[in-house]
Structures are given as C-alpha cells and as structure tokens.
Amino acid sequence: QVQLVESGGGLVQAGGSLRLSCAASGSTGSINAMGWYRQAPDKQRELVATITSGGWPNYADFVKGRFTISRDNAKNTVDLQMNSLKPEDTAVYYCFGRRLRDSFAFWGQGTQVTVSP
C-alpha cells in the first residue's frame, strides 16, 4: 500500500511561482517513476512531468523551461517547482507513483493551482 499526499497549491498571479510537494508513505520501496499530472475543468488529464528513481526528468512541452521536477528518495518526496505561471496552468495537480513490477500507478488526492491573469 502506498499513500501520496500533495501540498503547495494555491492562488498566484500570472508570472508568479509555486512549489508543489508530494509525500509518499507506505510501501515506498516498490515505487520507481514518479511524477505529476494535471486536470483542468472540462479537459482531459495531462501529464506534466515525470522523474525516474535515479532522478532523470522529462517534461511536457508546455512546461519546458518553466517547471522543474525533483525527488528526494531518502525523504520519499517529489516536488514540482513551477515558475512563470500562466492562467492556462490552472488545474488540479495530482502526484503519482508507478510500481515497477507491474506499472500500477498510485495517486494523490490533488492540489488546486489557480493562476489569475
């Protein structure tokens, strides 16, 4: 069993920054890749960024150069530093962790990010 809890969302003006954090607990040793999805109202869920257990990141094109994903395996956390935020970044952001053996994904409860014009 793995539990993921996100924090750090909020309201920010366009051009501002937020840092999201995801804390994993439970059977964290079974988790390999971690990352973030987001979902805006009436839109499909979008993959934002992923990071391997070794710390190798990749990003969706729409956040490259603005967002940075990082993880601390000792603390079982994964963060998303979001800079130069745009109104279109407004969404609920969900943390996930993927189990290596079968790719089963665990999800957090989500944290709201709202970017005002």
- Distance, in Å, from the CA atom of 33 to the CA atom of 100, rounded to the nearest integer, reads 8
Q: What is the band of 70 on the pLDDT scale with cuts at 50, 70, 90?
A: very high
Q: Is 90 helix (H, G, I), strand (E, B) or coil?
A: coil
Q: Answer yes or no: is pLDDT of 29 > 90.
A: no
Q: What is the band of 60 on the pLDDT scale with cuts at 50, 70, 90?
A: very high
Q: Is 98:41 a contact under the CB 8 Å cutoff?
A: no
pLDDT for 63: 96
Q: Answer yes or no: is pLDDT of 30 > 90.
A: no
The stretch 62-88 carries a mean pLDDT of: 96
Higher pLDDT, 92 or 28: 92
Which of 87-105 are b and which e, b meaning 16 or more Cβ less than 10 Å from the residue's Cβ? eebbbbbbbbbbeeeeeeb
* Residue-averaged pLDDT of the chain: 95
Extract the tokens encoding 75: 């603390």
